Amino acid sequence: MTTEDLTRGAATRPDSRTRADDRYVFHSWSAQGAISPLPVAGGEGAWFWDEDGNRYLDFASQLVNLNLGHQHPRLVAAVQAQAARLATVGPTFANDVRGELARLIVERAPGATAGDASRDRRWRVFFTNGGADAVENAVRLARLHTGRAKVLSAYRSYHGNTATAITLTGDPRRWPNEVAPDPQVRHFLGPYTYRSAFGARDDAEEGERALAHLREVVSLEGPGTIAAILLETIVGTNGVLVPPDGYLAGVRALCDEHGILLVVDEVMVGFGRVGEWFAIDRWGVVPDLVTFAKGVNSGYVPLGGVVIAEHVAQTFDDRVFPGGLTYSGHPLACAVAVESIRTFEDDRILERVRRLGDELIGPRLREIAARHPSVGEVRGLGFFWAVELVRDRETREPFVPFNASGPAAAPMAAVVAAVKERGVWPFVHFNRLHVAPPLVTSADDLEHGLAAIDAALDVADDHIGKPRTKEGS
């Protein structure tokens, strides 16, 4: 299944309220004639509903961006108050909310509270409109700072749909875009213990071998030609691949050895998804550049950016940084982000994510996995999990083939439909259901959503002809 499959409704909707969308809106990542997006009428907290009044628990946080849920009163009020005060201002002017947000982000940047004491803790922030342009500008910064052109990224990755970002993207969304790729991008294999390309038996071995592979790619490409290694701290859409302990520290050391910048893409995992401001804090590693978007303000107004280590930012103190955007640091977007960070703190969201991830989501998913022969592995952290489906647990043959579409993806579509029938909206990619609810989802709603997945997995078990294991056996 493609990512956009998850925005599809079950049937065509001739309703006059959505006819204009059908007729005039050109949708993302789709054959325009083949889709029928669900018309969403409203939302509140972890729930949204369609124009027919069907309610869904948003286990995808839209596109894993709605960290504080739909229509959060504090975020809505922040947009309204800022709109009444100063609705827009050009990026060439200084602006109070933009400055305040940059300060709040820098105070929470990697290593600000823990980690490698030998590193400079000073940062600055360049604001963009979303994730892809954050990645574009991080690469621009790295190339100009190092004077080198090449950038390495993982095959299993998504980094956005603009020219360099889609070339950096390893997943099949890159393929049709390679008519005009960034010529200086190379890919490598990151760690993925469950499907190790390196024959590893456990996380420790996988981490070491993936690192050895990356070291070899660096030496074969020419260390002195490489500006940056860019990776998702936890690979998101392509599998919720949590790196083995030691892997990120190893990449950091490899970069340091060769004057390569380490860029972490935290567009999906930043701002609380795994219970840290930035996921990389889990491992105490300090990168040179961090991209963010989505969860920074739950997408109420588009916003992204790059957190820039001082030693890189200084390169542009006397030299012009050749990049900019009309809406860089848009005050409406920044005002929501400031309010979002304050809300995180007042409501102790990071602690909540860690606790419920460890005590509820993880254990419940492991129980579900034990019951269903179609589940190969569950993995994740905080409010960010994947349920990987297989045809056979022994061989680990994926439930549907890699990048399947049409009839080949039908078994997965049936499972997804069964989840949606139970009023839960999952995130779907290939042979995986991802669990990525808003970070404010109540424990009862989490139980409800996980129970829906549990029940829907019977469809997958039936498909492979292996019924669920009886309770307690």
Which positions lie near ligand PLP, rule CB under 6 A?
63, 130-132, 135, 158-160, 232, 236-237, 265, 267-268, 293, 304
- Kindly tell me which of 154 and 368 has the beta carbon lying closer to ligand PLP: 154
Residue appearing with tokens 């380490």: 262
- Kindly tell me which of 158 and 300 has the beta carbon lying closer to ligand PLP: 158
Residue 288 DSSP SS3: coil
CA dihedral 76, 81, 82, 85 (to 10 degrees): 160
- Cβ of residue 236: shortest distance to ligand PLP, in angstroms? 5
- Kindly tell me which of 200 and 248 has the beta carbon lying closer to ligand PLP: 248
- Kindly tell me which of 135 and 418 has the beta carbon lying closer to ligand PLP: 135
E strand or H helix at 336, and its extent? Answer: helix 331-346
State how far the alpha carbon of 432 is from the alpha carbons of 138, 330, 377, 390, 405, in Å: 30, 36, 10, 9, 14
- Kindly tell me which of 38 and 241 has the beta carbon lying closer to ligand PLP: 241
- Cβ of residue 469: shortest distance to ligand PLP, in angstroms? 34
- Cβ of residue 451: shortest distance to ligand PLP, in angstroms? 28
Render the burial of 152-172: b for 16+ CB within 10 Å, e for the rest.
bbbbbbbbbbbebbbbbbbbe
- Cβ of residue 304: shortest distance to ligand PLP, in angstroms? 6
Long-range contacts of 318-326 (CB under 8 A, 24+ apart): 319/144, 321/126, 321/141, 321/144, 322/140, 322/144, 323/126, 323/137, 323/140, 324/91, 325/91, 325/127, 325/128, 325/129, 325/133, 326/90, 326/91
- Cβ of residue 292: shortest distance to ligand PLP, in angstroms? 9
C-alpha closest to that of 294 among 140, 74, 56, 128: 128
- Cβ of residue 285: shortest distance to ligand PLP, in angstroms? 17
- Kindly tell me which of 304 and 411 has the beta carbon lying closer to ligand PLP: 304
- Kindly tell me which of 69 and 299 has the beta carbon lying closer to ligand PLP: 299
DSSP 55: E
Residue whose C-beta lies closest to ligand PLP:
131
- Cβ of residue 456: shortest distance to ligand PLP, in angstroms? 24
Helices 331-346 and 349-356, axial angle in degrees (round to 10) = 60
